Structure 1
Amino acid sequence: MQQPVVYVGEWLVTPSVNQISRQGRQLTLEPRLIDLLVFFARHPGQVLTRDELIDNVWTRSVVTGHVVTQSISELRKSLKDGDPNAPEYIVTVPKRGYKLTVPVIWHTEEQEEGATPSSAPDTLPEATAEPPPESVTLRSRLNAFIVWGLFLLALGSCVALVALATLDSRPPITKTRLLLNPRDIDIHLVDGSGCTNRSTQHAYAVGLGSLITTTLNTFSTFMVHDKTNYNINEPSSSGKTLTIEFVNQRHYRAQQCFMSIKLVDNADGSTMLDKRYFVTSDNQLSIQNDLMNSLSDALTQPWPARLQTMLTQYQPAQSTSLVAFYQAHQLLMNGDVDSLSKASERLEEVLKHSPEFIYARAEKALVDVLRHSQQPLNDKQLAALNSEIRHLSDTPGMKEMAILYQIETVDMLSKGNVDEAYKNVNKSIDLEMTWMSYVLLGKVYEMKGQNRLAADAYITAFNLRPGDNTLYWIENSVFQTSVTRVVPYLDNFLAKE
């Protein structure tokens, strides 16, 4: 059976091979982008809302408006194909959705292959003589015999199938087809049991997962889901999986712990990256730098200059301070008052040993402003915190870091200044795509009375980092949120687990 193809403006779209082509130029797109384009082509000139696109194009467990926006952006870029004068194929209709604005012509692949019809002959052929009556009678009998033969064959097949179904009492096997998204990556942490200092190693692995997720989601076209806090075994539509595991192995005459990092392409099972690092007390920083460079090579994703600048602020000069920072960061992600207090103490110790570690200073301010939102600080502590926030905002390079605007968002929400909080949280998202910023965006939308947008932000946060930590933040950070009332979709999704 011939598959449909469609002309969308100048592009010929062939869904069966995930390709678009024009004037000898041929591009292969991700399946989700082809599906999105075909759905637009089936509704030319119509305004399609995000919800309509999610319901008809995506089959993922958790899909948000942000994913739709990113996919629309990628599709527009492909259709323009680097031509600044190309028409705008998909336009945004403010507060309504998106619309395809170019002509659409549907064909089948067979029609497309024979798109140039042969010229009609100048004269009609002469009429053939009518066959003799005997020939007509013989042909009619032959046709009747063929029809009856086919009928008896079909009847016999039906009887045979019924007999087989009666003999075979086994229930039918249903096969689920899962369409992989090649530019989606899941990060998993495999619990090892043979290494000592498990808590330190676990915090280091969680910190690496968080850094990789933020880096790729901000500076690449990959969509990364940090599942280091998510232990549910379920089918995933992500095209790639990165696993971090600590393993105890004999090295020379002693047992030594090493960290295994493996990146696998789920489409064909091939290994894209497989590295093992022997972890010592002073090499965690060099391991992190080597891992980031190795990921850049494996994913053919060169890091931009802004990332290089950011990484210098994200890490201290000493490996011991990096591990202690990741322990504090893990406590921050827990989100409860007790964990936040411990995180503040741990970060204070980090700054004593590494006073130049600018990001640790900023994270301590974020921890303290979150503590104040849940359990008010005394006047002396609050004055010191406000002084530190002002000092941070004047620190060179800090205005290019999302954490400054996360601090300002929480501070403004605590003071009831929703408009300033909204400006700051959007600045943080522009600079870095993190689950924490989307939780704060949801809080801002709740304060504005826009629960539908709040739900969208919360689901995006959970999609970026699913697990108990993110759920706790949604329910309790800054102020309490009723998941059942505000995010019923997420509540229903979790109820199925």
Structure 2
Amino acid sequence: MQQPVVRIGEWLVTPSVNQISRQGRQITLEPRLIDLLMYFAHHPDEVLSRDNIIDHVWMRTIVTNHVVTQSISELRKSLRDGGDSNAEYIVTVPKRGYKLTAPVIWCEENSDEIDNSSTSPPPPIAATNAEPTEGVTAATPVPPASLQTPTKKAKKPRIAAFWTWVMFLLSLATLVVFIVMSVVDHNAAVTKTRLLLNPRDIDVRFEGGNSCNNWVSQESYAIGLGGLITDLLNTYSTFMVHDKTNYRVNEPSSSGKTLTIQFVNQRHYRAQQCFMSVVLIDNADGSTMLDKRYFVTNTNQLSIQDDLFNSLSFVLTQPWPNRMREQLALFRTPQNTALMRFYEARQLILSGDAQALGKASDILNGIIKETPDFNYAYEYKVLVDVLRQSQQPFDKEQVAALNEEFKKIDQIPGVEKTSVYYKIKTVDLLGKGDIDAAYEEINKSIELEM
């Protein structure tokens, strides 16, 4: 069954292969970007709010507005690729949402093949060459039967037919050659577009497996590191990082670098040990920019995190600003084991269902009891409780406990510099129906993450 194909402005969007193309350009996008673009195509010249986009593109999965903003930014960047840098396909409508302004034309799946075939040399060459031959054949004089010489005159029609076939086969061969050349040139152009890499883009991937002990906590730790690298580099560096730790589709990417995290079960001396391997590859030439192996224990999780960020700063020649170092300091805790459990709780928060949020609340509550000075974990504990209260209203005792948490979090030094603080206030204000105040608070959170 053919899937719908749509032309948006100059781009032909083919959702079946996650590609957009136009003259001389062909770009493969992530599935979520294709879904976002197709949703805009179904609502041209219509203002779509962030909540509307989340409901229909992310299917009510709990995501932050930063995810929507980053996705639209990547989509705008792809649509401006190789064209007019001032062209705006998707515009921002202040305090309302986003709108697709480019013209939208729906067509069939094979319409691009029709467009490609139209660029091939036209076949009327055979007809053009055949017309004079037919004229010569028609102009051949036919003398009366009584005056014909049987031995010589009978050869003329055979010679004319022979040259007619020669010209027809020659023109047919020429047409076939032109078609083959056009197909070869088209394939070469596609290969070149896939090799166009952006050196400032980095893909962060996680290779799954279960070859190590404590696999669940180790997986959460590795995915948490990948998410932290993505958030901090997107906010405080000139690199655009794409978090693909939970992205299981292996397709060509335009990112110039790939950071892969995986656990390797390898013999070390006489014992079988599990190492966390972190490799940064330059996709332009396949060279290895960074190759680190860490033996993760309960006492070195913070030191591994610090060493990894210092190594990335060196190989990327990107000094970390003081604001980013302050964000990294939020993860410092006297109990190293708390960091791995904290990342596990963050993974559960992303699930968004009541059971996962309840489990995340229990994990964070245990961390807070063991390390009362871990203020960042306390912020996430309050965020989880606010989300739980929005799904299922608390009783009087739970509401009183939540109000005490609000009072305590307001007294944490530097809490106004963290985006989580404003997310808490946003969810609380939405539950109270104060939409305007919630809008202001979430914008403060976005500003800290941009």
Aligned equivalent of 1:280, options 297, 313, 318? 297
The residue that corresponds to 2:373 in the other structure is: 356
Kindly state the Cα deviation for residue 228 of structure 1 after the two structures are TM-superposed: 1.2
Instruction: After superposition, give the CA deviation of every residue in 1:159-215 in whole Å (9 maximum; x if it has no partner).
Output: 37749999xxxxx96744323222121111101332111111101011101110111
Q: Is the CA contact 1:187–1:226 (under 8 Å) kept in the aligned structure 2?
A: yes
From 257, 260, 263, the counterpart of 1:243: 260
Q: How far apart are residue 293 of structure 1 and its match?
A: 0.7
Instruction: Please name the residue that 2:73 is paired with.
Output: 66
1:293/1:342 Cα in 2 relative to 1: closer, same or farther (>3 Å)? Answer: same
C-alpha separation between the residues in 2 aligned to 1:417 and 1:365?
Answer: 19
Shift in alpha-carbon separation, 1:236–1:163, aligned structure 2, 3 A:
closer
- For the 8 Å contact 2:208–2:262, the answer to whether it is kept is yes
2:324 to 301, 307, 324: 307
CA–CA separation in structure 2 for the residues paired with 1:58 and 1:221: 25
State the distance in 2 between where 1:412 and 1:389 align.
13
Distance in 2 (CA, whole Å) between partners of 1:346 and 1:241 is 32
Aligned to 2:216: 199
Shift of the 71–383 alpha-carbon distance from structure 1 to 2, 3 Å rule, reads farther
Give the direction of change, closer, same or farther, for the CA distance of 1:71–1:165 in structure 2 (3 Å limit).
Answer: closer
Deviations 1:219-259 (A, max 9, x none): 01211111111111222222211110001110111001100
Aligned residue in 1 for 2:173: 159
Closer/same/farther in 2, CA of residues 327 and 94 from structure 1, 3 Å limit: closer
Task: Return the alpha-carbon distance in structure 1 between the equivalents of residues 429 and 277 of structure 2.
Answer: 42
Render the CA deviation track for 1:124-150: whole Å, top value 9, x for unaligned: xxxxxxxxxxxxxxxxxxxxxxxxxxx
Distance 1:373 1:163, change over 3 A: closer
Alignment of 1:355-394 (within 5 A): 355-394=372-411
Any idea what the Cα deviations from partners look like across 1:32-91, whole Å, max 9, x if unmatched?
xxxxxxx9xxxxxxxxxxxxxx9989943427443478899xxxxxx9xxxxxxxxx999
In the aligned structure 2, how far is the partner of 1:55 from the partner of 1:232? 21
1:302–1:163 CA distance, 2 compared to 1 (3 A): closer
Letter in 1 for 2:364: L
The correspondence for 1:187, drawn from 199, 204, 213, is 204
In the alignment, structure 1 residue 412 sits paired with structure 2 residue 439: no
The aligned amino acid for 1:284 is Q
Moved more, 251-260 or 307-316: 307-316
Report whether the alignment pairs 1:216 with 2:233: yes
Match of 1:345 in 2: 362
Residue 217 to residue 94, structure 1, CA distance change in 2 (3 Å): closer
Whole-angstrom distance in 1 between the partners of 2:26 and 2:430: 34
TM-score by length of 1: 0.56
Where does residue 245 of structure 2 map in the other structure?
A: 228
Please, what is the CA RMSD of the aligned residues?
3.7
Q: Which amino acid aligns with 2:418?
A: M
Amino acid at match of 1:297: F
Measure, in 2, the Cα distance between the counterparts of 1:313 and 1:70.
Answer: 32
Question: What letter is aligned with 1:266?
Answer: N
Q: Mapping of 1:115-194 within 5 angstroms?
A: 159=173, 162=176, 175-176=190-191, 177-178=193-194, 179-194=196-211
| Amino acid of the structure 1 residue aligned with 2:335 | Q
- Residues 370 and 279 of structure 1, relative CA distance in 2, 3 Å threshold: same
What letter is aligned with 1:320?
Answer: T
Once residues 97 and 341 of structure 1 are traced to their aligned partners in structure 2, the CA distance between those partners, rounded to angstroms, is 39
Shift of 1:313: 1.4
Question: Aligned partners of 1:318, 1:255: CA distance in 2, in Å?
Answer: 27
Matched pairs, number: 310
Question: Unaligned 5+ residue runs, structure 1?
Answer: 1-38, 40-53, 73-78, 80-88, 99-151, 167-171, 434-497
Residues 1:415 and 1:173: Cα distance change in structure 2 (over 3 Å): same
- Shift in alpha-carbon separation, 1:291–1:157, aligned structure 2, 3 A: farther
How far has the Cα of 1:318 moved from its partner? 2.2
Give the corresponding residue for 2:147. none
State the Cα distance separating 1:327 from its structure 2 match.
1.3
Q: Percent identity?
A: 53
Conserved? CA contact 1:193–1:247, under 8 Å = no
**1:107-137 alpha-carbon deviations (Å, 9 max, x no partner):** xxxxxxxxxxxxxxxxxxxxxxxxxxxxxxx
- Aligned twin of 1:493: none
Alpha-carbon distance change, 343 to 94 in structure 1, aligned in 2, over 3 angstroms: closer
Per the alignment, residue 56 of structure 2 pairs with none
Displacement, 1:347?
A: 0.5
Higher mean Cα deviation, 383-392 or 344-353? 383-392
Q: 8 Å contact 2:331–2:339 — kept in the other structure?
A: no
Question: CA separation in 2, counterparts of 1:298 and 1:288?
Answer: 16
Give the deviation of 1:394 after TM superposition. 2.7
Structure-2 separation of matches of 1:227 and 1:68: 17
Give the counterpart letter for 1:248 in structure 2. Answer: N
**Once the two structures are superposed, what CA deviation does each residue of 1:303-333 show, in whole Å capped at 9, x if it has no partner?**
1111111211123222111111111111111
Q: 2:73 corresponds to which letter in structure 1?
A: H
1:425 counterpart letter in structure 2: I
> Relative to structure 1, is the Cα distance of residues 71 and 356 closer, same or farther in structure 2, using a 3 angstrom cutoff?
farther
In 2: Cα distance, 1:322 partner to 1:415 partner = 33
Q: Secondary structure at the match of 1:314?
A: coil
Q: Which digits, 9 at most, give the CA deviation of each residue in 1:380-415, with x for residues without a partner?
A: 111211221232123211000000001111111111
